[in-house]
Chains A and B, each alone.
Chain A
Amino acid sequence: MLFKRRDRREEFERAIKGVFPAVYSAAVRLARNEENAKDLTQETLIKAYQAYDRFDGRNLKAWLLRILTNTFINRLRQEGRTPDIASIEDSVEAQQAPSQEPLPLDRVLAQTLDHDIEKALASLPEEYRVAVVLSDIEGLSYQEIAEALDVPVGTVRSRLARGRSLLRTQLLEYAKERGIV
């Protein structure tokens, strides 16, 4: 039938529109700048459209975030920037200095600028940043993140805990620099 292809594309466009802000927002935080995020989102949607017939119709946002994450990781690999997990884990251990009492992060957060939070998030190693973005910003479950990253749920839990720990350390660092604590 004439224009059938266009109908399919319009259906895709309608479906995507609702979850697009979440996908783009995740892309900005993964790619760390808007220009790269646009490219990443564009490539994600092109791949999603090509595979749309195979989408099972259950959770479009999780499906798109999975494609986004895979695309992001593939790009890193192509650039030869696969993160060295062992060294990252060492650095995490090093940064987790024992604290005698909990630092007042909730007070810090209340006074921290959005810019500093974005900066702290951007400073996380890719594998941890992806986990934090997908969980804390996009609200995916551990299982959904595990599927998106093609790793066991245990790995997701571990990356999430370490990513948050690093984020916390970084935020407290900024807070000290600004005299908040």
Chain B
Amino acid sequence: MKNDPLGGDHAEFEVLQVHAYVDDELDSAEVSVWKARLESSNGLQAHCAELLAMKSRLRALAEEARRSEAVDEVFSECMRAVRHDDTARRTDQFVGKFRYALAAGVACLVVGAAVFNWSGPPDVRGASFADTLSASASGGADVPSLEAAWGWLRRAFRADVAPPPLKLVDLRPVRVEVLRSEIQCGRLLLEDRRGERYVFVFAEGVMPYDGEPIRGMPGFRCVRYGALNVICWTDGQYTYGLAGPREPADLAAMVE
């Protein structure tokens, strides 16, 4: 760079030093030298002023863009992608390694789905596992809220259990039960405003599950039992199921 905006024949090193001065990248000795040179050169002063003005304008432009509401939307989209990628990655890893050992866990989801017949509306068809379920369940407790349900589970599992990934829009918890305490597996019965029942099942371990993919919801699978739909998904090292008399996408919308 033999010619620079100052109009003189500055060596490339000197040009770079001007930029470093403006960027606050010089040490104190170099800064003293450049301050002295600035005082004696109008051209240098003008060049520094230009650089600072350009930096300031670029920074202001970016600050304005960052305040945009669209940024929040992109953030949510990106975090959704992170969640789905993480789920898919872990499912692949665990299912690949432990598929035989974990196959037994499928039963939990089947039971979770079938229990709907036991407590759900009479027009729902499908095989019932109510007897098996009653025998294996803890007896549980009636709960007025999600917090109460999770408090009960914490005591049952003797572990600090975080709340489930559910958005309780139009749903209220009815009952919580432990299915198998040794693998932290349980279920939550929920009811909507029309009195229709839903079952949320969770189980430690990544479990292989069949079913159709749900459009727009990567990582989710759906199994249909007559009018009853069961969506299954894996989050980290845990598997969840949500059963209810709704379309799979509607069920998926209830999940965080």
Contact = CB atoms under 8 A, between A and B. Distances in A.
B59 interface: yes
User: Counting chain B CB atoms within 10 Å of each CB, which of A2, A139, A171 scores highest?
Assistant: A2
B4 to A, nearest CB: 7
Contact of B71 (A24, A117, A164): A24
Interface string A9-45: 1001100110011101100110000000010011001
Contact of A158 (B16, B23, B157, B165): B16
Interface string A89-101: 0001100111111
A102 B54 contact: no
Contacts of B237: 4-5
A142 interface: yes
Contacts of B78: 20, 38, 41-42, 45
Interface string A121-150: 100000000001001111101100000000
Contacts of A100: 7
Chain B: number of interface residues, binned into ranges:
35 or more
A88 interface: no
Contacts of A50: 89
Interface residues of A, number: 63
Contacts of B43: 102
A106 B59 contact: no
A168 interface: yes
A71 interface: no
B86 A121 contact: no
A65 to B, nearest CB: 13
A99 B81 contact: no
Main secondary structure of the interface of B (DSSP, over half): helix
A13 B72 CA distance: 12
Contact of B58 (A5, A92, A136): A136
A43 to B, nearest CB: 9
A165 interface: yes
Interface string B42-60: 0100110111011101110
Interface stretch (B61-69, B116-124, B141-149, B214-222): B61-69
16 contacts: A3-B162, A5-B238, A9-B236, A16-B79, A24-B71, A45-B78, A49-B85, A49-B86, A96-B1, A96-B3, A100-B7, A105-B53, A136-B54, A137-B58, A137-B59, A137-B61
Interface of B: 1-7, 12, 15-16, 19-20, 23, 25, 43, 46-47, 49-51, 53-55, 57-59, 61-62, 64-67, 71, 74-75, 77-79, 81-83, 85-86, 89-90, 157, 159-162, 165, 184, 202, 204, 235-238
